[in-house]
Amino acid sequence: MLKIDNLKRPQSETIILKELPNLSTLTLEFSMESSSPSEEQELAVEDLFDKIIPPQSLEDFTISGFFGRRFPNWMVSSPIEICVPILTKLVLNGINSCTQLPQLGLLSELRDLRMYYVTKVKKIGPEFFGTDINLTRFPFPKLEKLQISNFPELKEWSFGAQVEQNVSPRLKLLPCLRKLTISYCPLLKQLPKGLKYSTVKFLEISGSRSLKLDDNLPPEIEKLSLINCENLDKICCSPMLKTLYVDERYVEKWEALSCVEKLDSLQELSFTNFAIKSLPEWLLKLLQQRGLQNDSNDDFRLDLRCSNEIVQGCLKGGCNSNMVDHVSIYQEHY
């Protein structure tokens, strides 16, 4: 393992990390001399990063605090899969000036990709995947975990118009993806249509107030977590969904979520909102449906984190108690 920090000044010679053929883990931490680097400083750090050539043995790579406007030439001009052919984990953290991501989809062994605080990227498009997508060639062929967090300017995420128009069950994009986390992307309006036929099992979305889910959720999702996504109006869930977390604490207008469909397989629902005065309509309908089933073997669990008034209404003798006779209710106090 090698960590190089306080990177900010250009080097006179290339930093030849290729001479460390057994190096598998590398962390590069860049340091700005001021909160707003000058153009000269940005060019200098770009030149510096161009000269840091990693070894082909690299498996785990973290880039933190890079403030240049472009990624190094070996990541964007040369085929990145040749430079780091066995890379399995990549973390991009605090990328403050780059407006476009590298062609990371070419990394055939990558299994874990985490991107945090990438503040200037407005679009994730076909160039990110780095290859023509077809039935025999996929980007990110082994990617299992993808995290996109704190992209304040991200508005669009797409596999490209041609792919989105021809997406089908035969074309499984991101064929090994199991966990997808999207957090604090306030301008992102929708997920790419290509995800509709992915193999995602766990989807977590938080702090993305412009996002609409509609009917493009992956069909194999088993766990869905929605936190501070108060403008969602419809969720068409996967028929395999077993766990649903909805956390909108202290948000009064959660009634915007008026439709939640396909919850027949749901085993656990966690709902958090301390500001509302009554349960939302979609939740009441779900509880009513469960009550009408009158199934003593139904192991459905409801976790309520709401006001005492709402919880008392669900207990015996309360206004909603007839709907939850066959539901296990757990209240958490805060």
Q: At residue 147, what are phi and psi to the nearest 5 degrees?
A: -125, 125
Q: Is 239 helix (H, G, I), strand (E, B) or coil?
A: coil
Query: Residues of 28-39 as b/e, b for ≥16 C-beta within 10 angstroms?
Result: bbbebeeeebee
Using the predicted structure, report yes or no on whether residue 328 has a pLDDT greater than 60. Answer: no
Q: Where in the chain is the domain with CATH 3.80.10?
A: 93-331
Each residue's pLDDT tens digit, 291-315: 655 555 457 788 888 878 777 766 6
Each residue's pLDDT tens digit, 77-89: 778 888 899 999 9
Using the predicted structure, report yes or no on whether residue 219 has a pLDDT greater than 70. Answer: yes
Each residue's pLDDT tens digit, 15-57: 667 667 788 999 999 887 667 888 888 888 888 888 888 888 9
More confident residue, 63 or 266: 63
Each residue's pLDDT tens digit, 229-258: 877 777 877 788 899 998 887 565 555 566
**Predicted pLDDT of residue 250:** 58
Q: Is 250 left (phi over 0), alpha (psi -120 to 50) or beta?
A: left
Widest CA span in the chain: 78
* Inter-residue contact 48 to 8 (CB < 8 Å): yes
**Predicted pLDDT of residue 118:** 96
**Predicted pLDDT of residue 171:** 66
Each residue's pLDDT tens digit, 252-262: 555 556 667 76
Q: Which of 10-14, 67-71, 94-98, 204-208 has the lowest mean pLDDT?
A: 10-14
The H-assigned helical ranges of the chain are: 39-50, 73-76, 80-83, 126-129, 161-165, 281-293, 308-314
Classify domain 93-331 by CATH number: 3.80.10
CA distance 322 to 315: 9
Q: At residue 51, what are phi and psi to the nearest 5 degrees?
A: -95, 0
Q: What percent of the chain has pLDDT over 90?
A: 31
Q: Mean pLDDT in the chain?
A: 80
Which one-letter amino acid corresponds to residue 236? C
Q: Which of 110-119, 180-189, 191-200, 321-330 has the lowest mean pLDDT?
A: 321-330
H/E run at residue 244:
strand 243-247
Each residue's pLDDT tens digit, 139-179: 899 999 999 999 999 999 988 776 666 666 666 678 899 99
